[in-house]
Structure formats: structure tokens, C-alpha cells
């Protein structure tokens, strides 16, 4: 019999019961809760008179709606304010630990989970948010769910799930200087498409993945959902274990030793079979820039905007034409000729300390270009912010004319006051370039933090691997 994949192992460890049709009741070790997808779940519990199965396995934070400036003045938008206050109230009523807006540990739900050791290797992790795949970077079986399932997990600590198929994406060899986790994952999505991973749990492997820090691995798994996969996974190694040592919620003393032993089995067996294997050559990956309104519409920075005429599939061709029109671009235009209006460095994809360091390295001693109206730097959590300030990164940004903000989702989805105006073009380190994502009529180009900082300074896209300061 063939060995097991990492996904198979995680699944098997969490099966409570199996149903006739192949679905199973799966035990959930950790639920992360935020203000947008939880109010209706709490209401449902109240209506049915239900309690939480295990309060302590839920951890809450407000992130989507919170202001990133003048936080002491509270939230100006009354509807957003009510939603955040509703989370505070619900957490108090149901006894859930919450990092509120004034807590230094507050931040984007997918940044604080690993940072606190609240999401650990081998766990099942859910959250009413599709980017829950991020937590798979530590070999946790983590996936996004809808509000009905949030309520279900609260009430039963379980979810009914169907097992996904197994996909292995191997990124062979090492990336060149200045190429980041973001470029790797955008290149993967460019190759397999936004629906390429639908129905699969994707395990990322290969030398280029093993060489990434935990931060970089989180960036890759974060965007598994942009390839259609609810779950992204990376095997445990020493980098994983070192990362979780001494985190506030990490196991302590003899539990730590037990955990490390158990975690060392969290990899696919050598003879495991995958339903699909995709291989990429890391050495061929260049800095990536999306040009359209879907993350799969991506090219290398030294390329041109593609021409729909060259696309044989008529459905794809139509979406390319629509994307060009929405983005205000011409087929054949060089990516490096695209001028930008705003820059956003943040989001659960790229707001960890390593991301800020990469951006600061490019920005050091330089200033933003005249045509760039605003550069927002939004750390992923209060603790990331603190660390960055201890390293003096905030000063580098401020001297370059960038704005140093408080943590939250911010212009990743523009639910708070940070947003693009219609027609504005943004170099963004977030994960989605959908129409209107960063503001009504706004135009998003997804890039790495170093590429975003370089674009802020040049006023247009540039190949960060060709400028001094790019690492």
C-alpha cells in the first residue's frame, strides 16, 4: 500500500465519524473569529439557545473594519462601528478570548494566529475567511468556511467535510536573488489558473519552498485559495519547529517535547501518491506583476500586457478583453511603462516583519515618486509594528514619504477608510485584484513587497532585481 500524504495524515487524525457518502465529521482544534463573518453565527446560537462546545478553542480579533489611523478616536463609520462592537459584545457573552482594537496583539486574523502560537502544526484550523489556508504553512489543516459553518464549529467543535484530492506542487531548484515567496506563488497561479486547485488540498514542496522562512511559507499558503484550493500545506521541518518555540499559546515543557515528536511525522511519506503533480523550475521565476482582474492574469515584470487575440479559448479571451478595459491597459504595453497612483504594502499575504524589512531595504534613503499619491504601510499586527519600530523601519518609510499605519486589513479589501478612488492604479502586496476589491473602480496590480516599494520610488513598475537596494 502506498504511503500517506501530509493531507491524508491530518485528515485521518481528525475524523470523528464517517458518513455513508464519504463525507466525515472532522474535529476542529482551533477557530479564529473576526467581526465580518461571525455576527450571524452568534445570532444563530442565541436563537437556538446553544452554547459553545469548547470556548477556549476560539480566538477572536477585529481586523477587517478597523481604522489604521487615529485609532483612539474610534471608528467613524457607524455601520462598521456597530459590527466591531457586536464582536466585542458577543465575545464577552460567549466567553471567547478577544484581542480588541486597543490590544497590542491585535492584527489580521491570519497574522496573529501563527504569531501567538494559536495555530500550530497538526491542528485543524478554521475561520470564516478564505485566507485561512495561510495556517497550512505549519502543516495545519486549515481552511476557510462560511458563516453557517462558523456557527456549526462553535456549537459542535466539528464540521462535516468531504475529503479533497491531493495535489503536489514542487518548486524545484532555488530562486534567484530578489525573488520572493510572493513571486513563487503568483507564478504557480499563472501556471495552474485560479481554478487549477479546485477540489484539491495543495502541498507545496521542493527546494525553493524548503528554503523559505515561515513568513514566506505563509505567503505561499495564503494564496492557495487564489489557485482554487481551500487548503495549502507545507511539511514540518526545523524552520517550523524553531518558529513555534516559546510562542504564547505554544505547548509548554513536556507537552512541547511531545508535540515536537508528533510534528516530526507531519510530512508526506516518500511513497505517497498524489492525484496530481505540478512542477515548476524556481530558477526561471522572475518578479511577477498581475495585469488583470484575476490573480491568474499575471506576467513577469520584463514582459508586456498580453494580447487577447493570442488566446484561443473564447471564454478566456472575453475575460481578458474585459480585464484590459477595466484596468485601462493596452495589449502589448510594457509592464514597466505602467504608472501607478498608490501603493499598498500590507494584508495577510505580505504584512509580516520579513515583508516590511524587504520593503524598507528598497526604500532606504529614497523618496516616493511625485506621481505616487499615497504609499500605505500597514503592519499585520501590533507586535509586527512594534518589532519594525525597534528595527527603525518606520523611520525609513516615513523619510521616504510613506505612511506608517496601525494594523488591520486596510486597503486589501477597503472596508475601512483606506481605499482607491475610481480609476486609481495601485501596486499592492495583497492577494486579490478583483474589480472593485480595493475600492470602487480601483485597479490593482499584485506584487511582492520589494516590488511594491520599488514601484513607489520609481512611480511605475520596475524590476527590483535590477536596481540597487533590491536584495
Partner 1 sequence: MRAFTKITSLVMPLDRANVDTDAIIPKQFLKSIRRAGFGPYLFDEWRYLDRGEPEMDCTNRPLNKDFVLNQSQYQNAEILLTRENFGCGSSREHAPWALEDYGFRAIIAPSFADIFYNNCFKNGLLPIVLNAEVVDSLFKKVTDGYQLTVDLATQKITTPDAMSIDFVIDADRKHRLLNGLDDIALTLQQADKIKEYETKRAKQAPWLFTA
Residues that bind ligand SF4 (CB under 6 A): 63-64, 108-110, 129, 131, 347-348, 409, 412-413, 430-431
The option from ligand SF4, partner 1, none interacting with 27 (CB < 5 to 8 A, set by class) reads: partner 1
Neighbours of 243 (CB within 10 A): 20
Closest distance of CB 430 from ligand SF4, Å: 6
Q: How far is CA 220 from CA 10, 176, 186, 263, 348, in A?
A: 19, 17, 9, 20, 11
Tell me how many helices (H) and strands (E) the chain has: 15, 19
Which residues inside 404-443 make contact with partner 1, applying CB under 8 A? 413-415, 432, 434-437, 440
Closest distance of CB 410 from partner 1, Å: 12
Secondary structure element (H or E) that encloses residue 219, with its range: helix 214-222
Q: Where are any strands of DSSP class E within 77-184?
A: 97-99, 124-127, 141-144, 158-162, 165-172
For 178, half-sphere exposure in the C-beta direction (CA atoms, 13 angstrom radius) is 22
The option from partner 1, ligand SF4, none interacting with 445 (CB < 5 to 8 A, set by class) reads: none
Contact by Cβ (8 Å): 426, 438: yes
Which residues inside 237-256 make contact with partner 1, applying CB under 8 A? 251-252, 255-256
Contact by Cβ (8 Å): 409, 64: yes
Nearer to partner 1, 244 or 461 (CB): 244
The option from ligand SF4, partner 1, none interacting with 58 (CB < 5 to 8 A, set by class) reads: none
* One of 107, 114, 122, 442 touching partner 1 (CB under 8 A): 122
d(CA 279, CA 138): 21
Which residues inside 267-296 make contact with partner 1, applying CB under 8 A? 294
d(CA 467, CA 236): 35
d(CA 210, CA 318): 38
d(CA 260, CA 13): 16
- Binders of partner 1: how many residues, by CB under 8 A? 80
Nearer to partner 1, 177 or 252 (CB): 252
Q: Where are any strands of DSSP class E within 179-296?
A: 200-205, 231-233, 276-281, 288-290
* One of 4, 58, 65, 106 touching partner 1 (CB under 8 A): 65
Closest distance of CB 182 from partner 1, Å: 18
Tell how strand 158-162 and strand 23-27 pair up: antiparallel
Closest distance of CB 185 from partner 1, Å: 16
Nearer to ligand SF4, 131 or 405 (CB): 131
d(CA 253, CA 259): 10
The DSSP letter of residue 426 is: E
Give the x/- contact pattern for partner 1 in 294-333, rule: CB under 8 A. Answer: x--------------------xx-xx--x-----------
Nearer to ligand SF4, 267 or 405 (CB): 405
Q: How far is CA 76 from CA 56, 84, 86, 422, in A?
A: 32, 12, 15, 22
The option from ligand SF4, partner 1, none interacting with 77 (CB < 5 to 8 A, set by class) reads: partner 1
Q: Which one of the spans 18-26, 203-211, 215-223, 234-242 is the region binding partner 1 (CB under 8 A)?
A: 18-26
Nearer to ligand SF4, 127 or 320 (CB): 127
Contact by Cβ (8 Å): 216, 181: yes
Closest distance of CB 355 from partner 1, Å: 22
Closest distance of CB 409 from ligand SF4, Å: 3
Closest distance of CB 56 from partner 1, Å: 4
Nearer to ligand SF4, 60 or 282 (CB): 60
What angle (nearest 5°) sits at the alpha carbon of residue 280, between those of residues 278 and 284? 165
d(CA 163, CA 9): 12
Q: Which one of the spans 78-86, 333-341, 356-364, 367-375 is the region binding partner 1 (CB under 8 A)?
A: 78-86
Determine if 48 is a binding residue for partner 1 (CB under 8 A).
yes
d(CA 295, CA 227): 8
Nearer to partner 1, 6 or 359 (CB): 6
The option from ligand SF4, partner 1, none interacting with 108 (CB < 5 to 8 A, set by class) reads: ligand SF4
The option from ligand SF4, partner 1, none interacting with 442 (CB < 5 to 8 A, set by class) reads: none
3-state secondary structure of 141: strand
Closest distance of CB 251 from partner 1, Å: 3
Determine if 114 is a binding residue for partner 1 (CB under 8 A).
no
Closest distance of CB 134 from ligand SF4, Å: 8
Q: 304: Cβ–Cβ under 8 A, 6 or more apart, which residues?
A: 331, 332, 333, 334, 335
Question: Hey, CA dihedral for 227, 233, 239, 243, is it positive or negative?
Answer: positive
Nearer to partner 1, 293 or 465 (CB): 293
Determine if 176 is a binding residue for partner 1 (CB under 8 A).
no
Closest distance of CB 119 from partner 1, Å: 12
The option from partner 1, ligand SF4, none interacting with 147 (CB < 5 to 8 A, set by class) reads: partner 1
Amino acid at each position: 500500500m502506498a504511503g500517506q500524504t501530509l493531507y491524508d495524515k491530518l485528515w485521518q487524525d481528525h475524523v470523528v465519524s464517517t458518513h455513508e457518502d464519504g463525507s466525515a465529521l472532522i474535529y476542529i482544534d482551533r477557530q479564529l473569529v473576526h467581526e465580518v463573518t461571525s455576527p450571524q453565527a452568534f445570532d444563530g446560537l442565541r436563537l437556538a439557545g446553544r452554547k459553545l462546545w469548547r470556548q477556549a478553542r476560539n480566538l477572536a480579533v477585529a481586523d477587517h473594519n478597523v481604522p489604521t489611523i487615529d485609532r483612539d478616536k474610534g471608528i467613524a463609520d457607524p455601520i462598521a462601528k456597530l459590527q466591531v462592537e457586536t464582536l466585542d459584545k458577543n465575545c464577552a457573552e460567549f466567553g471567547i478570548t478577544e484581542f480588541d482594537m486597543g490590544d497590542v496583539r491585535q492584527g489580521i486574523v491570519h497574522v496573529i494566529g501563527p504569531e501567538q502560537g494559536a495555530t500550530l502544526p497538526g491542528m485543524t484550523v478554521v475561520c470564516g475567511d478564505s485566507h485561512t489556508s495561510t495556517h497550512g504553512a505549519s502543516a495545519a489543516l486549515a481552511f476557510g468556511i462560511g458563516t453557517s459553518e462558523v456557527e456549526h464549529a462553535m456549537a459542535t467543535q466539528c464540521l462535516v467535510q468531504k475529503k479533497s484530492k491531493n495535489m503536489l506542487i514542487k518548486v524545484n531548484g532555488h530562486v534567484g536573488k530578489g525573488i520572493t515567496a510572493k513571486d513563487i506563488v503568483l507564478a504557480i497561479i499563472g501556471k495552474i489558473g485560479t481554478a487549477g486547485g479546485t477540489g484539491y488540498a495543495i502541498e507545496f514542496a521542493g527546494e525553493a519552498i524548503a528554503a523559505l522562512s515561515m513568513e514566506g511559507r505563509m505567503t505561499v499558503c495564503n494564496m492557495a485559495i487564489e489557485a482554487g484550493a481551500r487548503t495549502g500545506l507545507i511539511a514540518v521541518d526545523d524552520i517550523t519547529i524553531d518558529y513555534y518555540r516559546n510562542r504564547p499559546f505554544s505547548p509548554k515543557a513536556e507537552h512541547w517535547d511531545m508535540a515536537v515528536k508528533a510534528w516530526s511525522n507531519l510530512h508526506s511519506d516518500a511513497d505517497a501518491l498524489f492525484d496530481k503533480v505540478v512542477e515548476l523550475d524556481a530558477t526561471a521565476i522572475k518578479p511577477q506583476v498581475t495585469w488583470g482582474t484575476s490573480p491568474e492574469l499575471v506576467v513577469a515584470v520584463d514582459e508586456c500586457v498580453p494580447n487577447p487575440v493570442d488566446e484561443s479559448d473564447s471564454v478566456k479571451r472575453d475575460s481578458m478583453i474585459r480585464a484590459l478595459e477595466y484596468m485601462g491597459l493596452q495589449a502589448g504595453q510594457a509592464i514597466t511603462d505602467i504608472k501607478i497612483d498608490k501603493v499598498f504594502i500590507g494584508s495577510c499575504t505580505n504584512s509580516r516583519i520579513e515583508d516590511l524589512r524587504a520593503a524598507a531595504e528598497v526604500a532606504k534613503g529614497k523618496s516616493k515618486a511625485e506621481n505616487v499619491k499615497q504609499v500605505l504601510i500597514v503592519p499585520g499586527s501590533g507586535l509586527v509594528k512594534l518589532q519594525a519600530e525597534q528595527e527603525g523601519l518606520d523611520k525609513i518609510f516615513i523619510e521616504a514619504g510613506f505612511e506608517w499605519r496601525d494594523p488591520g486589513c486596510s486597503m486589501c479589501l477597503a472596508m475601512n477608510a483606506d481605499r482607491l478612488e475610481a480609476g486609481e492604479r495601485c501596486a499592492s502586496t495583497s492577494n486579490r485584484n478583483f474589480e472593485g476589491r480595493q475600492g470602487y473602480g480601483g485597479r490593482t496590480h499584485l506584487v511582492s513587497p520589494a516590488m511594491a516599494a520599488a514601484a513607489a520610488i520609481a512611480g511605475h513598475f520596475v524590476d527590483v532585481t535590477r536596481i540597487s537596494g533590491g536584495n
